[in-house]
């Protein structure tokens, strides 16, 4: 059976003799094979060039398609999420590495934008070094170049940096230590580690801040030692606790949990809780749950613990809802409600929160529950209206007006929007324009801006002309 040609060019056009010539004119079996393989190529040089370009273009399109597909797959079915991933094994091998590579590029770009102020000063590196070393310029002005020099890390830059850094007065040295650390340059550890033992607390604190921004197991271990050392001042230990939260590794978490069980100083314990709160909720849930449930935990510290969860992950919300609903302490319930208000990913809690507000006896808790409703997509304004209108406390009342105003903004033709316009807008106008606390007045304006109804806009116009400057500006910004 004769071989079937896949080439658009006739077999006769193939330069068979040329190929044979390469083998010394001897006909070879492999030559025939190669010949057969290449016979689909165009005969002319131009044709082959175009063919090659087509292949490259095709590969690029295929690559782009794979990249887009990988991004799409990882976005919707992340391989890191066992419940959502489609084919975890394949995704880990193919799509995840592709997305990780893209992420790395974006991270570098974003970081370079963040560093722009420090890195792109309009001076060359040589000029920067010269200016940095110029003692005629106030150190407060030139210390900013520390970042660029530490980031570039060339021998000249480092020499200049250390020349000034080592002899700088403490207040400037502390500022520079933090800047050096924020470059993330691991070489800087060597310069900052000795400062951890400085008697000058300001320097030790700056070193902790700088080192924790760089991170690493060695830094984590040194900072952990400081946190555990009860001979160090509370101020330095507080900073160490903060630093471990910034480092955010499992080892740092372990140390924080360990020391938390032993520490007696309130300030240190407070900061440990705040640092623990920065970890993902599943990793800290037990610690927080046990601490909040312990009868010997002071109420003030329970509030600190709950508010620390503001910076944890969304998984904390069900736990916080449980506290907001049934904790015996009104302070803890209020804090839990406020913490929920800062978690804006789960936005379908409107009904639950409305139910809690209806049942809640404490006015401050109700106020925070109203605030928690703001990011929700389903604010049950009709249910809230009677509760809010019955509030005597001005802060709770204005918080409730914000929730109803937001609902009015989402559904301008609703009954609650009409009530808002007729009854609430005049009251908010009166609050914003007569003597009251700035915080209350600003929030009254926020409620009007949330609603965006005609009546609210009219009220904002009046406030913009008659209220005190900050309140008037806030009103003007809503017009």
Partner 1 sequence: MIATQSKAFRILLLLLCAHLLMPLALVWGDTLTWSIVITPKNSGKVIWAISSPPSSGTLVKSGKLTLNNGAFVDLTFQPNPGGTIESVFKNADNITDWLDAQKHFKFGPVSTSHVIIVKFSGGTPLPVDPTGNFDFSFPTGNPDLTAIANVSGNYEGVTPEKKRHYNVDVAQDESGKLAVMGTATGFLSKEGNPTISGNIGGISTVSDEPTAQLKGSFTGTRDGVPVTGSGTAKGPVETTDIGGGVSGVSATAGGSAKVSGVPFSIKNGPISYPVTPSQASHFHKSWSLQLNIQSKVNSNTGKPYIGATGQLLLPNGDTISYPERVVKYSKKGYSLNFTGGTNITIQPNKADKKSKVIIKGMTLEKQGQVWKPTGGTMTYQFLGQKGTGNLLDFIP
Torsion of the alpha carbons at 435, 439, 445 and 449, rounded to the nearest 10: 180
Positive or negative torsion for Cα 267, 273, 275, 277: negative
Interface with partner 1 (CB under 8 A), residue from 11, 13, 75, 156? 75
CB 472 within 8 A of CB 427: no
Q: What is the DSSP string of 419-466?
A: HIIIIIHHHHHHHHHSS--HHHHHHHHHHHHHH--HHHHHHHHHHHHH
Kindly tell me which of 305 and 310 has the beta carbon lying closer to partner 1: 310
Q: Which of residues 146-165 bind partner 1 (CB under 8 A)?
A: 147
Q: For residue 435, how far is the Cα from the chain centroid?
A: 39
Does 271 sit near partner 1 (CB under 8 A)?
A: yes
CB 189 within 8 A of CB 217: no
Q: How far is the CB of 456 from partner 1 (least distance, A)?
A: 13
Kindly tell me which of 26 and 136 has the beta carbon lying closer to partner 1: 136
Interface with partner 1 (CB under 8 A), residue from 14, 99, 272, 463? 99
Q: Which of residues 27-66 bind partner 1 (CB under 8 A)?
A: none
Does 91 sit near partner 1 (CB under 8 A)?
A: no
Does 110 sit near partner 1 (CB under 8 A)?
A: yes
3-state secondary structure 22-36: HCCCCCCHHHHHHHH
Q: Which of residues 305-364 bind partner 1 (CB under 8 A)?
A: 307, 310-311, 338, 341-342, 344-345, 347, 364
> DSSP assignment, residue 320?
H
Q: Which of residues 182-211 bind partner 1 (CB under 8 A)?
A: 182-184, 205
Does 117 sit near partner 1 (CB under 8 A)?
A: yes
Kindly tell me which of 14 and 95 has the beta carbon lying closer to partner 1: 95
Kindly tell me which of 175 and 291 has the beta carbon lying closer to partner 1: 175
Q: How far is the CB of 111 from partner 1 (least distance, A)?
A: 6
Kindly tell me which of 14 and 146 has the beta carbon lying closer to partner 1: 146
Interface with partner 1 (CB under 8 A), residue from 149, 157, 177, 238? 238
Kindly tell me which of 43 and 412 has the beta carbon lying closer to partner 1: 412
Q: Which of residues 451-470 bind partner 1 (CB under 8 A)?
A: 470
Interface with partner 1 (CB under 8 A), residue from 445, 456, 459, 467? 445
Q: What is the DSSP string of 358-383?
A: HH---HHHHHHHHHHHTT-S---HHH
Q: Residue 332 burial (CB < 10 Å; 0-12/13-18/19+)?
A: buried
Q: How far is the CB of 380 from partner 1 (least distance, A)?
A: 17
CB 367 within 8 A of CB 399: yes
Q: Which residues contact 279 (CB under 8 A, 6 or more apart)?
A: 245, 248, 253, 312
Kindly tell me which of 39 and 173 has the beta carbon lying closer to partner 1: 173
Interface with partner 1 (CB under 8 A), residue from 65, 116, 130, 221? 116
Q: How far is the CB of 318 from partner 1 (least distance, A)?
A: 19
Give start and end residues of each alpha helix (H) in 4-144.
Answer: 16-22, 29-38, 45-76, 88-93, 95-114, 116-119, 125-133, 139-142
């Amino acid at each position: 059976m004769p071989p079937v040609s896949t080439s658009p060019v006739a077999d006769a056009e193939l330069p068979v003799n040329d190929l044979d010539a390469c083998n010394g004119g001897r006909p070879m079996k492999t030559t025939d094979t190669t010949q057969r393989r290449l016979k689909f190529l165009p005969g002319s040089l131009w044709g082959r060039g175009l063919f090659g370009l087509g292949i490259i273009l095709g590969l690029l399109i295929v690559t782009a398609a794979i990249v887009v597909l990988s991004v799409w797959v990882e976005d919707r079915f992340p391989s890191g999420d066992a419940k959502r991933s489609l084919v975890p094994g394949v995704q880990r091998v193919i799509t995840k590495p592709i997305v990780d590579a893209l992420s790395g590029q974006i991270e570098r770009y974003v970081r370079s934008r963040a560093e722009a102020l420090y890195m792109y000063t309009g001076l060359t590196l040589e000029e920067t070094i010269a200016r940095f070393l110029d003692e005629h310029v106030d150190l407060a002005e030139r210390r900013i170049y520390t970042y660029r020099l530490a980031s570039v890390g060339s021998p000249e830059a480092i020499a200049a940096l250390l020349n000034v850094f080592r002899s700088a007065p403490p207040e400037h040295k502390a500022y520079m230590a933090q800047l050096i650390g924020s470059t993330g340059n691991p070489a800087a550890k060597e310069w900052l580690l000795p400062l951890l033992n400085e008697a000058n607390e300001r320097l030790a604190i700056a070193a902790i801040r700088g080192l924790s921004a760089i991170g690493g197991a060695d830094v984590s271990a040194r900072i952990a030692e400081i946190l555990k050392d009860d001979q160090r001042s509370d101020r330095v230990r507080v900073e160490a606790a903060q630093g471990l939260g910034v480092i955010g590794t499992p080892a740092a978490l372990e140390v924080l949990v360990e020391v938390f069980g032993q520490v007696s100083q309130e300030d240190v314990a407070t900061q440990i809780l705040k640092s623990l709160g920065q970890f993902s909720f599943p990793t800290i849930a037990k610690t927080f749950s046990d601490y909040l449930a312990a009868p010997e935990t002071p109420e003030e510290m329970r509030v600190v613990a709950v508010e620390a969860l503001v910076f944890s992950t969304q998984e904390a919300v069900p736990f916080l809802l449980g506290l907001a609903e049934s904790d015996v302490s009104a302070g803890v319930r209020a804090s839990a409600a406020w913490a929920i208000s800062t978690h804006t990913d789960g936005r379908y809690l409107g009904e639950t929160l409305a139910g809690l507000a209806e049942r809640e006896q404490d006015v401050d808790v109700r106020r925070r529950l109203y605030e928690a409703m703001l990011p929700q997509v389903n604010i049950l304004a009709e249910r809230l209206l009677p509760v809010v209108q019955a509030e005597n406390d001005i802060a709770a009342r204005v918080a409730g007006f914000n929730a109803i105003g937001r609902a009015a903004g989402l559904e301008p033709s609703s009954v609650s929007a009409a009530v808002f316009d007729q009854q609430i807008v005049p009251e908010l106008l009166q609050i914003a324009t007569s003597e009251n606390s700035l915080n209350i007045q600003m929030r009254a304006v926020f409620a009007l801006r949330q609603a965006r109804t005609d009546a609210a806009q009219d009220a904002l116009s009046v406030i913009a002309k008659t209220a005190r400057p900050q309140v008037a500006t806030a009103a003007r910004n809503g017009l």
